[in-house]
Amino acid sequence: MPKKVFLSLKYPQLAIDMLTQAGFDITINESNNLIPQDELINICQEYDALLSTGSNKIDAHFLKSCQHLDVISQFAVGYDNIDVQAAKQFGIVIGNAPGAMTEATADVAFGLMIMVSRKMVYMHKTIEKGQWEHFVPTANLGFELDGKTLGVFGLGTIGMVMAKRCKAAYGMDIIYHNRSRNQAAEDTLNAKYVSFDELLAQSDVLSVHSNLTEETKGVFGKDAFAKMKNSTVFINTARGGIHNETDLIEALKNGSIWGAGLDVTNPEPMQPNNPLLQMENVAVLPHIGSSTVEARNEMARMSAQNIIDFYKTGKIPHPVT
């Protein structure tokens, strides 16, 4: 009997074709609505493997209830929605799609930096409101990025691409804070490793590219924002939980920082009455970091390959450890 795989959403056709051609019996959630956890647990009782997304809550309760599953492959890079230790306890192999969205997410971070520095989103809204008035020399001023300092929190693959873009486009100085040194960045970009407090104090643009962990959860809160320059732009395209949104709003209101660009929010999705959406120096996107044809197809390929290789060889190419 062919192994049965449940796809929690309608993923790109590439994943569907790969699994079908490999002989799997697949079922797809054609509605594209997120399945509540209890319902997903019930569905998975009939399946051997699950292709999930970061929106699915794969916690200890889910894993204990579905401990018969052989493998869960996540259509994402991040896996903070999965209790990895519980999965190990129940012998369920977990895979993801690292690196698939590197270029796409770096583009969003770079774009948010420009949008915020020139108030682009807010100024577009003034046109919609019929507020395009005559030229005022001292109105609607942003700032230029040339020669500024980019601080990167989490200088991994995506952070590295963001740093390369900023260095090439604007000659920006690169500083970073990591759990470990990034020698490649230091060699090729003359990046400087600094303490967290130094990162806060020296960055003109501070871009977050780290994983969400117990150590990084809420690390950008009241105290952190208070240590930044009042000219700093805060960018987060990683996970909303890394910043405290209430503290971010207050920092923007009291002028502790200059602006913010977010592709991830806390909570997510953001409510339409959130004050950030009306602020002049803020740009918010609805978590579209991976929203390119190329990135989504690569995520599809990698997440499908995890399942295919597991049943062929007993190992997956992109394991979460």
Q: Which residues are catalytic?
A: 239, 268, 287
H helices of 118-195, in order, are 120-128, 157-170, 183-189
Do 122 and 100 touch, CB atoms closer than 8 A?
no
Do 16 and 7 touch, CB atoms closer than 8 A?
yes
Q: What is the CA radius of gyration of the chain?
A: 21
Distance between alpha carbon 22 and the CA centroid of its chain, in Å?
Answer: 31
d(Cα 273, Cα 292) in Å, to the nearest integer? 28
Q: If you write DSSP's letter for every residue of 28-86 in order, what string do you get? A: E-TT-SPPPHHHHHHHHTT-SEEEE-TTS-B-HHHHHHTTT--EEEESSS--TTB-HHH
Which residues does residue 58 pair with via DSSP β-bridges, in sequence order? 82
- Backbone φ, ψ for residue 74 (5° rounding): -100, 130
Instruction: Name 139's Cβ contacts closer than 8 Å, sequence gap at least 6.
Output: none
- Backbone φ, ψ for residue 179 (5° rounding): -70, -30
Instruction: Name 221's Cβ contacts closer than 8 Å, sequence gap at least 6.
Output: 243, 244, 247
